[in-house]
Structure formats: C-alpha cells, structure tokens
Structure 1
Amino acid sequence: MKKTQYVVVGLGRFGASISKELIKLGNEVLGIDRDEEAVDEMSQFLTHTVVADATDEDVLKSLGVRNFDCAVVAIGDDIQSSILAAIVLKDLGVKKVVAKALSELHGKVLQKIGVDRVIYPERDMGIRVAHQLNSPNLLDYIEISKDYTIAELSVPKRLCGLTIRELDPRAKFGCSVVAINKQTGVIIAPTATDVVNENDMMVIIGTNVQIDKFESEVIR
C-alpha cells in the first residue's frame, strides 16, 4: 500500500507534534521551516526536512509539493506567512490543505482562500477539556461539525451487562453507539445484542443536544 505523503510547513510545537504523530501512523512527512535549528531538531524524526521559505512559490515547486497528498500549514504566530503559504500550496495544486488558525478572523481568511480544513488547536483543546471537566464519565469529545459530535463515554457500574438494545440510544435519544472499546479489543458497529461492561468505552455519535441528554440521563 502506498504511504500517504504529507508536507508540514512550520516545525514549532504544533507542527512538530503533528509531524511525529503522522510518522508514527506510518506516513511519509516532509517538514519545512525557515529556522535551521528547528529543522535540524526534527530531521531525525521525519522522512525529509528542508530549511526553506514556504511563501516562495518557486521553492515549493522545486520541492515537488504538488505531488503530496496533504499539506499542513502549522506556522506559529506569523499570520501573513500562514496565509501566503496556504495560497501558494493551493495554487500549486496540493490535493488537500489543512491550516492552523490563531484567531476566528485568521480562520475566516483561510477558508476564503480555499483551505480545506481550518484547525483551532487552542480553542478546540479548551472546549474538549471543559467538557471532560464538566462530565466525569466523558473521556473525549470531538466536534465534527457545528451540530454533530463524537463522544467517548465510560460505562458506569450500574449499566454493566446491558445490551445495546436495552440501552437503545437511537430510539430514546437519536444518537448511535458506533464502537465499544473493551479490554479485549474494539467492537466496531456493535449489534443490538452486544453487551457493555463496567469501564468499557462507548463511542457515540449524534448532535450535541442528543449526546448531552444521553450522558446526563443514562451515564451519570
């Protein structure tokens, strides 16, 4: 199977973290940064690293970035460079461009220039932590759109031994259990007869309202 090829522009904390994780997941990563020290530090972890200005179209063209499957613009605090790099990557025909935004306005500009996905690391992490603090049984929370969420909920002792049919989250709340993470392994797309046990992790998908209702009425 052909490995997915990523180019990550900006090797600060966010860029370095995402690059290393992409490598761990079996992908190839080209890291680009103006800072020679940052590039040297990451060279042992990534497939290739280059000291370069990612706002220079000729430089990116010479690196063959148009052949990459996805580009991640992870530039730290230089909004102008972030926007210019994203424009160049889109113009060169990179299939998918993802960019980190420092503010809502920055994100709107990135969307206007055609970036495929805008990430707000600080805001999104803040939302996830707030939900985890608010709901002790909520292990993770990922907003996949304005209305829809994926949540990972820990099964409490009183629900031990119940089947998905008995819980019936779809009929009662409108949300669905898409996976159960057990100590013995993960059940993807569980059937109505699958049983949950204490400390299993249920992965639920639904609207924010549906999941909040399920979590407050069933899990707590």
Structure 2
Amino acid sequence: MRYIVIGLGYFGSSLSMKLTDMGHEVIAVDKDLAKVEMYKDRVTHTVALDASDAQAISTLPVADTDVVLVGIGEDFGASVMATAIFKQLGVKRLMSRAISPLHQTVLEAIGVDQIIRPEQESAERLAKKLEMRGVIDSFDLSEDYNIIEATVPEKYAGMTIAETDFRARYQVNVLTILRNQETRNMFGRSHLKPKVMGVVTGNTIFEAGDILVVFGKIQDIDRLLHE
C-alpha cells in the first residue's frame, strides 16, 4: 500500500519508518529540509514541501495513495489547513493527528475519516492497525493473541453470530459489537459515534457497518476479515 505521512516529528517519523519496514511505500513530507535529509535513508521517499500550500500538495500522487495521515503536532493552523486541502482533494482515506479536544472538534468538522491522539496511540500500534485492512483498533495481549476492532465484512450482514460460526471456522471469539449512532459536535455537524451493544449472544444479528470486537490470533482474525 502507499501512504503519505505529513510531518516528520517524533510520531510521524516513527510511523513512516515502521510502515516502510513493513514493506509499504511511504512518502514522508515535512517543510524542514533537515528532517527530510535525516530520514531519507529510513523511509521510502522523503519530500520537503509546505503541506499547508495547496499548490505544493498538488505535486504529490494523492489520487494513487491509499491513506494520507496528517501528523503535524503543535502547529494547529498548518494541521487544519493541510487536512482541509487533502479533504478537498478527495483522498481515499484521511487521518489526522489531534493534540487537544478543540483540535479534534475542528478535524471532526472537516470530516476526516479517523482522528489520532498520539498520547493514546503509539506509532507502532497504529502501523499494525494500518497493516490489516479493515482494522479500526487493536490491543496486543501477547505476541500471538490480540483483541481487534474491525468492520464486519458485508457478507455477514443480516446473519446471526451462531450462523457465522466464527469460533469453529476461524478460532475467533466475538466479544461485543459497536454500532454507529448519529450525533452532533459543537459546530452542529453530524457524525457517527459507536455505541457498545453489550454482551452478545448467538442470536445477535450483524448489521452493515457494525464494528466487531473480536479475540484471537492475528492471522486467524485476518482470515476472517478477508476470506
């Protein structure tokens, strides 16, 4: 997959190097030439440009990129401007870093696909989530076992947990389901917020867009999501 990471601070550089090590193509961007030079041998591509400049961003292969992540931290204005430009360009998946509740609210108003809070999410953990298509969040219990949040595959919508038989077929247990409900932020913009559906049973029916919370080995969960 191809990623564009904006900002080569600690978080952005760590994420860029981890994704590169995983075999992905990464275009890491920063306006600081010294940072670009520092990581040029550790990341697939490094580019020096101002991501708050729409004309400069137009030189990047945005249309052919799977995920754009705006990792700019302390420069609130540059973060919001870069995010808004990428949103206007219609990128496939847009993620942005927030450093405060207000920053998060503004990013929600812009309409990003996912907001990252670095104090809650390490670059290595995020890289693992990006590695598995469909995964929203993950928690490592050991080297082998994980608890994963992932969007339910469309083919299971309308089926019960008993009918899918994930435990027998994949050795994966469904712990609960998160179901999106519409809510509004302080600007009045509507967005979807997941609600925990509590303890599920074999009769619980999956709906399109549900988020599964499952437990199992990472390779088994990957088979469940993509077979």
**What range is the shorter-chain TM-score in?**
0.5 to 0.7
- SS at 1:62 equivalent: coil
Deviates more, 1:66-75 or 1:4-13: 66-75
Q: 1:18 to 1:174 in 2, by over 3 A?
A: same
Q: Gaps (5+ residues) in structure 2?
A: 126-134, 143-166, 176-198, 202-212, 223-227
Contact 2:73 2:98 in 1 (8 A): no
**Separation (CA, whole Å) in 2 of partners of 1:118 and 1:169:** 25
Q: Distance in 2 between matches of 1:8 and 1:177?
A: 29
2:28 to 21, 27, 31: 31
Task: Look up the match of 1:178.
Answer: 215
For 2:47, give the aligned amino acid. V
CA distance in 2, matches of 1:14, 1:53: 18
Amino acid at match of 1:99: S
Alpha-carbon distance, 1:77 to partner: 0.6
Asked if the contact 1:20–1:45 (Cα under 8 Å) also holds between the matched residues in 2, the reply is yes
For residues 45 and 138 of structure 2, the distance between their equivalents in structure 1, rounded to whole angstroms, comes to 34
CA contact (8 A) 1:66 1:89 kept: no
1:112 maps to a residue whose letter is: A
Aligned to 1:71: 68
- Alpha-carbon shift at residue 64 of structure 1 (Å): 2.7
Q: How far does residue 45 in structure 1 lie from its aligned partner after superposition?
A: 1.5
1:112 equivalent in structure 2: 109
Structure 1 distance, partners of 2:220, 2:60, is: 42
Counterpart CA distance in 2 for 1:26 and 1:187 is 21
Return the letter of the residue paired with 1:63: L
Residue 100 (structure 1) aligned with residue 97 (structure 2): yes
Q: Percent identity?
A: 37
Distance 1:83 1:178, change over 3 A: same
In structure 2, how many angstroms separate the alpha carbons of the residues matched to 1:177 and 1:69? 25
Distance 1:96 1:51 in 2: 22
* 1:8/1:72 contact within 8 Å kept: yes
SS across alignment from 1:94: coil
Question: Is the alpha carbon distance of 1:106 and 1:44 closer, same or farther for their aligned partners in structure 2, counting shifts above 3 Å?
Answer: same
- How far 1:46 moved relative to its partner? 1.6
Choose from 77, 82, 94 the match for 1:80: 77
Q: Which has the larger radius of gyration?
A: 1
**2:38 equivalent to 1:41:** yes
TM-score w.r.t. the length of structure 2 is 0.57
Matched residue pairs, number?
A: 151
Q: Residue 25 of structure 1: CA displacement?
A: 1.6
Distance in 2 between the 1:73 and 1:106 partners? 13
Pick closer, same or farther for the CA change 1:188–1:74 going to 2, 3 Å: closer
Once the two structures are superposed, what CA deviation does each residue of 1:105-149 show, in whole Å capped at 9, x if it has no partner?
A: 101110110111001111456xx9xxxxxxxxxxxxxxx98xxx8
Unaligned runs of 5+ in 1: 129-143, 155-163, 190-220
Instruction: Give how far 1:150 is off.
Output: 5.5
Kindly report the root-mean-square deviation, in angstroms, between the aligned alpha carbons of the 2 structures.
3.2
Does the C-alpha gap of structure 1 residues 56 and 24 become closer, same or farther in structure 2, counting only changes over 3 Å?
A: same
C-alpha deviation, 1:97, in angstroms? 0.9
**CA deviation after TM superposition for structure 1 residue 59, in Å:** 0.8
Distance (whole Å) between structure 1 residues aligned to residue 43 and residue 87 of structure 2: 23
